[in-house]
Structure 1
């Protein structure tokens, strides 16, 4: 019975998360409800080369949460990454490109709940970062690489992290202040934890 109760509670929580996201991201187009988290819509708005301004606005809105410097330009790059070894796993990215200072930014939209999203995000980051060096280049040629994952579900329980935005880097575990490098930067945006006003800020200028 306890197991059934646990499953029922989990289903209720998932349904509440889904309802919260729909309430925050749905709008009306031509008199019909339309979800702005629709995969095709998001990729058109943010990955279309003609909509570079929208991609810039989204990326800078996330950077601003950490007080990071805004980027002023964004050049889209090939979204497909072949595996780095025979039999390896390739990936197809949602939105990816370079900023004017050489920072590589990847934005991923995840609609279905994926428990291993943390590992997948790190894998994507490693492929992007590892492809930046050509034969003979020095390691100093490597630059900051950022992955932003926008999730329609909660990756972290509220008691672990109640805020909608979390940011990760490589820190010294002795003081949690000294950063090994600025090159690794990973952001998660958990939409169910957002307030409606926060969502509207990100979508400003998109519609």
Structure 2
């Protein structure tokens, strides 16, 4: 099996957001966007760098990039379930969109911005694992502007067997969902027929982590495992009063375990302001 879990945001960022793996990122993006918009090259705006993570410059492990047609991308792997994720996604889309110009510059410089949100939990009501959103006139259904595009890929809704994989996106999602059962020396033929998916499996299987990187990865993995364990505990304890009670219980248990706010933020998906507000409730 692959030694690293690509759903852990740190591993995802290193695999897809490194300069030496740009061809993998390009192939992944091309599996998501329309056939008539396929890209050939890309410039990473925030390439993976452990020093940035160490210095606190990489608190959100998303991938920002611009393709050869000047289309901007913001790609994020989100493993911790969050309320109001649609608002969060729109907020980060707007940050990438608005960052393209400085105050006083012409709006015509603004380019199409595509947000790709990969979720390890169910959020949308739609049963399909991949949903794309654009801006349309509700009466005519004609597109108002092509400058906005947002994708949600919900991994838990993907349930195809290897023999059922038909598209490049199918193969990429199978890889992300089942890396734990893949080995570079025995890749299923349905995946190995795609050279870039095959390369991603091989890269992940042999990816070297320094001592510092290993510590970050294991902390992120532990945060994921603790978060899921706390959610199960909350469910077993019969919490019936909504998601806020789950969040309170998760934060309380992690505080009781002596975890700091940075760790709690990773484990819960909450920001530090939300954590502080919950801690105030706990102290009452």
- TM-score by length of structure 1 reads 0.71
Q: CA RMSD for the aligned pairs?
A: 2.3
| Change over 3 Å in CA distance of 1:123–1:144 after alignment to 2 | same
In the alignment, which of 152, 156, 162 is matched to residue 188 of structure 1? Answer: 152
- Shift of residue 151 of structure 1? 0.4
In the alignment, which of 84, 98, 116 is matched to residue 148 of structure 1? Answer: 116
* Larger Rg belongs to: 2
Q: Does structure 1 conserve the Cα–Cα contact (< 8 Å) formed by 2:72 and 2:114?
A: yes
Match of 1:96 in 2: 64
Match of 1:14 in 2: none
* 2:5 paired with 1:35: yes
* 2:99 paired with 1:131: yes
Match of 2:235 in 1: none
- Shift of residue 156 of structure 1? 1.5
- Shift of residue 196 of structure 1? 4.3
Q: Distance in 2 between matches of 1:200 and 1:62?
A: 10
Structure 1: tracts of 5 or more residues without a match: 1-27, 80-89
Match of 1:18 in 2: none
Match of 2:139 in 1: 174
| Change over 3 Å in CA distance of 1:105–1:138 after alignment to 2 | same
Aligned length: 162
SS at match of 1:129: helix
Match of 2:210 in 1: none
- Shift of residue 36 of structure 1? 3.0
Q: Which has the higher strand share?
A: 1
Q: Distance in 1 between matches of 2:5 and 2:106?
A: 46
| Change over 3 Å in CA distance of 1:67–1:103 after alignment to 2 | same
- TM-score by length of structure 2 reads 0.53
Structure 2: tracts of 5 or more residues without a match: 48-57, 176-196, 202-284
Match of 1:107 in 2: 75
- Shift of residue 193 of structure 1? 1.1
